[in-house]
Structures are given as structure tokens and as C-alpha cells.
Amino acid sequence: MADTGLTPKQARDRIMNAQQLPDIRIVYQRAHDRGEIDLERIPSAVLAMPFERVRHDMLMDLKPLKPARIQSIVDELFLPLLHNRAGLDGALDGPAKIPVQTRPSTA
């Protein structure tokens, strides 16, 4: 990064502007509407955590995450946090079944 003359914040902003995520609030709102989560009981830091983890890993490795790493973030970090903070009774038991789509190579 020293070669670019960018601060860490500037580098993050450039990367995030190039790869904008969909408005994640919609995803959480839909889960709330289905009764899967209670947005009033889950801190915003918990909701932001999986995306911050992905961003961190991408910045450190400078490559997309492997599907197994995404599954690990969801199953081992995010879902236990949701389970503990939301007081859910078994609704999140077991590993997540998340379809992972791979992007076609642009090279």
C-alpha cells in the first residue's frame, strides 16, 4: 500500500466502491419479516460482522474468499452470535445451507 500513497481508509474506500454489496438491510428485513430474526434484539455490530470479516479477509489475501471460508464465517461466527443475542430457541440449529455462486472469471 505504501507504493500507492493511499491511506488504509482510502484503499478500503476504493475497494468497496469497486465492489458494492447489495443493500444488506433488505436481506435482514426480509429475514425479520419471515420471523427468522428479531432486528430489535440484534445489535448492528452483529449484523455488520460477517461483511466486515469478508472485507478483512479480502484485504489481507487480495483474492475472493473460498466457499468454505464463507461457510465458516456464517456457521462458526455469525449464527452463534445471532443465536446468543436474539434468544432464538433452536431456530438456527445446525449448519447454514447457503448456496454459493462463483463469479465467472474476467481474465
The residue with cell 500513497 is 5
* C-alpha Rg value of the chain to the nearest Å: 16
Higher pLDDT pick, 51 / 96: 51
Please, which residues have CB within 8 angstroms of residue 92's CB and are 6 or more apart in sequence?
Answer: 79, 82, 83
Higher pLDDT pick, 94 / 20: 20
The string of pLDDT tens digits covering residues 12-27 is 777 666 555 557 788 8
Which sequence spans correspond to the domains of the chain? 8-86
The string of pLDDT tens digits covering residues 33-72 is 999 888 888 988 898 899 889 989 998 998 889 999 999 9
Write down the pLDDT at residue 98.
41
> Is the pTM value of this prediction over 0.85?
no
Write down the pLDDT at residue 4.
74
